[in-house]
Structure 1
């Protein structure tokens, strides 16, 4: 049995930041535990190889999720050092200032978080009041990636959307190329930015293939964790704190198997109740992307280059020799923030577009492209208020929890999704992109009524992989964590990951979680009184 000052569970975006910053003092002993392995797969470095990583159970956890009656899908999360930042689509989005300001009463407003992003970023566009340079997260903006991408941007401009270099600079209708965690054609994961640079510190211990079975609580205080590691169980003690950074799915699961959660859920799973906390695992919010695809009237885009083994081999050779080409780009090329209805005062939806189209999915296969040329657009309700939930079914955390997504369950979410879908059709009916498309192939022109559009969003859409809220912070005693991210009812236990966010801070979650962990480090070390 070993003792450390801090035991950090999970080596994703938050865990890598915590390990780096908490171990800066050579007198502080830090243990970082990761259930997956090291990030040694060569596909981690290749940006467009994300689908190979996400669909491989060796590099991604596969959680079954219920999305409707007799309808299920798989939610992937990174299963290696770097967590989901080692497998994700690499879009870096700080979130809207007004969304952060909704958290100002809890001490997480934009005036505070803006300064954190400035310290984190090494942005190619240079310093600005909302942007940083010289930080550990190396970023890029790949413009003019393909003629079709440029035509998509021009179409948005024709509809009145402002073309911008930095999509996070303002909160009006805008379109441009997303900022990405890519540097010189290679993925920049949280492990690259924060963990690998400090791995040689003698006071930092990193253990992989270590499944935390439960948090050890004695006398109302978290004193360590019990871990299954390579065929045996061991305990690691924490003199200071146990910090859960396992993500919005694994963290509430770990709390529940440790006896902290809804009492009925725990008893049904055979777990003794330590604290009856009904909100652990509740309040789950997740993005649902409405998918739309078009067949092109002529050649163009990536399908011909990436849709065949020969094309993939050529693209891979180009990437190896130059770190360029389509494999050096983020998951989708163009992004936009738009209003679902013109009378709104700011965007409530976002789009991702790319000059390729996906082939029908095949079980057990990574994302495949169509052979014929096509384009894809994913539209998402930015701030969904539909809530799902997560509950353990067994006392062993190696048994997947029961996840209910509850997509588009509210009037608000359905209305925004339907209005957004119609705006997407308006977009592809406008020039110049309209001159390049021949027909809508997904979901198809027969999808017209509100009910048909919502059904298409569930049947043909995609999970956003942006789950939040399952251990949400709040001002009241019934919230799971307080504004300093400490678990209420247990001393020495803190949660630092997407599960603590009670609201979506627009867009994508990797950057907000990284910033959250950076500030949490200051709170833990007493550098920020909150």
Structure 2
């Protein structure tokens, strides 16, 4: 048994930031618990090795999710120090001012853009230089790889012809825009939350990191969280927290841990054989996730990355190029080009986003991430940026190592269905525009025969990808029905806080890695009683 001031569960994007910030005061004792191991695999630092890491159950959790009648898929999450920031596609997308101001309008004081923009600027080391909307000199080192392939330039040029503004920084404004993606990569190497925030402070004597340690449940006495029961290599141990228990395990594992600890929907808990300590219907509800719909094209001639990355010879050449210069496709994020667009012209801001690259994916295999075709192709993923369809998560037994039941409910509302269909049609418009149109032989996925609204949606369910951006399962808000308040404290239990993507009640216009990093920085300010500064 060990006693600390703070016990933090989860060493992902949020946990690494919290470990860094909370141990600045050398008198504060912090335990950081991680179910996976250390991030020592050489593949962690190689950007394009993300697929290998996601496929490996030693470095990724594989959660089964239901996406429709008879349709299931696998949701991977990081299972190592750095969490999903050690295995993700590395695209750095913050969201825009209206997203954070909307959080405040929902009753969450202190989460508006005037608070969050200074945090982003404090975190970032952006190679584009200091500007009113971005920062330099921060611990999170970023980059943008430009002119990666002539096909990328032609995709961008086609977007410009459609009226999208070409930008160097896709995070810089909230208009229709296209450009190369910003990534948590520097000098050809991944910059995970662990490398930015945890490893630089590992020698602090007041920080203890416990790897290969599964949190079994939160210990609660007289209405207060007093610690965490965990298991390390078959041995159970109770870690006590004098100040707080902080759950930073993500939008899947955090609500799961709350539920097995007796905090959640009463009927769900009873069905799983868990004693009900606190009936909270919204724990595990409100799940929102991106569904990326692919459109793929066969090129009329050679080009792109498929030949370089799909076969052993090409992979060997790419590996040598990376090894001796940190260059080439292996040094790049998952997608080269991004765009934010309006699904309909009358909208006041973009409601969809695209990711594009000069490669095409091979048919999916169960439990495997991205694999490439041998023939040259292009791939574009279109996504409803701020979906309002809600899924759910529920435990199926009292052991948190038993996968929960996840219902994704993609395209569950009429607005989401309409935006998804219109987005696919705009994607096709883009690739019918010169100069990229001149390089294309045919659409191969979902194929030109897929035309009606229902056919497009069915193709999105069948061939689409989970965005790995789940939120909302412990959403914050001003009312008692919300799981946490605006200071991220769990209602009904003293000394218990949630700091991860699960607290976001709505999706911001980006992905989750960047917002969660800033969210954790803000949470540390709240815990320490500090004022956020630029």
Q: Supply the distance in 1 between the matched residues of 2:383 and 2:131 (Cα, whole angstroms).
A: 28
Give the structure 1 partner of residue 116 of structure 2. 113
1:144 aligns with 2:143: no
Report the alpha carbon displacement of residue 371 of structure 1 after superposing the two structures with TM. Answer: 1.0
Q: Supply the distance in 1 between the matched residues of 2:510 and 2:367 (Cα, whole angstroms).
A: 29
Q: Supply the distance in 1 between the matched residues of 2:115 and 2:346 (Cα, whole angstroms).
A: 31
Give the structure 2 partner of residue 296 of structure 1. 299
Q: 1:43-122 maps to which residues of 2 (within 5 A)?
A: 43-104=43-104, 105-106=107-108, 107-122=110-125
Structure 2 unaligned residues grouped into runs of 5+:
none
1:31-56, CA deviations, whole angstroms, 9 ceiling, x for partnerless residues?
00000010011111100111111111
Report the alpha carbon displacement of residue 363 of structure 1 after superposing the two structures with TM. Answer: 3.6
1:366–1:118 CA distance, 2 compared to 1 (3 A): closer
Q: 1:480-519 maps to which residues of 2 (within 5 A)?
A: 480-519=483-522
Report the alpha carbon displacement of residue 174 of structure 1 after superposing the two structures with TM. Answer: 0.3
1:175 aligns with 2:181: no
Q: 1:187-266 maps to which residues of 2 (within 5 A)?
A: 187-266=190-269
Report the alpha carbon displacement of residue 367 of structure 1 after superposing the two structures with TM. Answer: 2.5
Give the structure 1 partner of residue 41 of structure 2. 41
1:382 aligns with 2:385: yes
1:437 aligns with 2:408: no
1:406-433, CA deviations, whole angstroms, 9 ceiling, x for partnerless residues?
0001000000000001011111111000
Give the structure 1 partner of residue 4 of structure 2. 4
Q: Supply the distance in 2 between the matched residues of 1:6 and 1:72 (Cα, whole angstroms).
A: 38
Q: Supply the distance in 2 between the matched residues of 1:352 and 1:7 (Cα, whole angstroms).
A: 38
Report the alpha carbon displacement of residue 476 of structure 1 after superposing the two structures with TM. Answer: 0.4
1:240-268, CA deviations, whole angstroms, 9 ceiling, x for partnerless residues?
00000000000000000000000000000
Give the structure 1 partner of residue 310 of structure 2. 307
Aligned residue for 1:102, secondary structure, equals helix
Q: Supply the distance in 2 between the matched residues of 1:366 and 1:409 (Cα, whole angstroms).
A: 25
Q: Supply the distance in 1 between the matched residues of 2:444 and 2:209 (Cα, whole angstroms).
A: 48
Give the number of aligned pairs: 530
Aligned residue for 1:169, secondary structure, equals coil
CA RMSD, aligned part only?
1.0
Q: 1:344-383 maps to which residues of 2 (within 5 A)?
A: 344-363=347-366, 365-383=368-386
Aligned residue for 2:521, secondary structure, equals helix
1:238–1:53 CA distance, 2 compared to 1 (3 A): same
TM-score (norm 2): 0.98
Aligned residue for 1:352, secondary structure, equals strand
Match of 1:424 among 423, 427, 433: 427
Give the structure 1 partner of residue 476 of structure 2. 473
Aligned residue for 1:335, secondary structure, equals strand
Report the alpha carbon displacement of residue 191 of structure 1 after superposing the two structures with TM. Answer: 0.2
Aligned residue for 1:206, secondary structure, equals strand
Report the alpha carbon displacement of residue 142 of structure 1 after superposing the two structures with TM. Answer: 0.5
Q: Supply the distance in 2 between the matched residues of 1:2 and 1:363 (Cα, whole angstroms).
A: 41
Report the alpha carbon displacement of residue 434 of structure 1 after superposing the two structures with TM. Answer: 0.2
1:529–1:181 CA distance, 2 compared to 1 (3 A): closer
1:111-137, CA deviations, whole angstroms, 9 ceiling, x for partnerless residues?
100000010000001111121100000
Q: Supply the distance in 1 between the matched residues of 2:502 and 2:371 (Cα, whole angstroms).
A: 31
Structure 1 unaligned residues grouped into runs of 5+:
none
1:360-401, CA deviations, whole angstroms, 9 ceiling, x for partnerless residues?
123455532111100000000000000000000100000000
1:304-355, CA deviations, whole angstroms, 9 ceiling, x for partnerless residues?
1111011001101111110111100000000000000111111000000000
Give the structure 1 partner of residue 160 of structure 2. 157
Moved over 6 A (4+): none
Q: Supply the distance in 2 between the matched residues of 1:267 and 1:235 (Cα, whole angstroms).
A: 24
